[in-house]
Structure 1
Amino acid sequence: MARYSLNLPTQLKQDAEKYAASQGVSLNQFILWAVAEKVGALSQQLDDPAFPEITYRRGASGQPMPFLRGSGLRVQTVVVAAKLWGLSPKEIAAEYGLSEAQVKQALAYFGAHAAEIEMAIASEETLEAANV
């Protein structure tokens, strides 16, 4: 791994430390995660500009999957919590350490990309059933 010295404005560093702590990772891990997410988004050009809180990452299968930016949480997790478990956006936000705005954007993203998300959920349900 290559080393790189980075100077951040004080307020940006404090904000990054706060978010890193809320995610349970070090500042270095958080910065690495943020840079990897940004580079991946720019190289993939999969992000939907209508949903700035959503980005894509490659899952274990190698397929790109939508995540809530900066959280590591898949959009389909929010959808399952809302549709299958009946949780409200406020309850989902509290459960996963998100803002209600993030949850609402994930659900709006689902509304615009329902087939993609439903296919991912069905695929995981099939995999789970085969492993039981």
Structure 2
Amino acid sequence: MATLQGISFYWFILWAVAEKVATLNQRNYDRAFPEITYVRGASGQLVPVLRGTRLRVQTVVVAAKKWVFSPNQIAAEYDLSEVQVNDVLAFNAVHSQEIDASIAAERIIEAANV
């Protein structure tokens, strides 16, 4: 990658670390939910995920609301603890507008591609 960029390996590493630090500084953390973090999704938008798993919050919310899975079923399906599932659902309760908008946008995209 450094060669493709036309820079030395040293400068490539320095640039990558600087980019990562800048990204970390831009995240929209909610300090009340330290187990939830944000990553850049395929669209370039920040997406809330369960820390350490990259499992999107909206995936758990869809499993709970649309598929009517219990926290225990969700935990089993995604190899999580019930505590993790409940943390995600609590985050959703506070950030439901953000999550619902993301789910709605994804439905529109899916409908357009069918």
TM-score when normalising by structure 1: 0.69
Residues 70-122 of structure 1, C-alpha deviation per residue, up to 9 Å, x if partnerless?
00100000000000000000110110011111110110000000000000000
Q: Which segments of structure 1 move beyond 6 Å, counting only runs of 4 or more?
A: none
Shift of 1:39: 4.6
Mark the CA change 1:119 to 1:110 in structure 2 (over 3 Å): closer, same or farther: same
Q: Summarize the alignment of residues 42-81 of structure 1 with structure 2, pairs less than 5 Å apart.
A: 42-81=24-63
Q: Supply the RMSD in Å over aligned alpha carbons.
A: 2.1
Aligned-residue sequence identity (percent) comes to: 61
Q: Summarize the alignment of residues 1-132 of structure 1 with structure 2, pairs less than 5 Å apart.
A: 39=21, 42-132=24-114
Shift of 1:44: 1.7
**In 2: Cα distance, 1:89 partner to 1:40 partner:** 35
Mark the CA change 1:100 to 1:41 in structure 2 (over 3 Å): closer, same or farther: farther
Which has the greater radius of gyration? Answer: 2
Give the unaligned 5+ runs of structure 1.
4-37
Shift of 1:64: 0.4
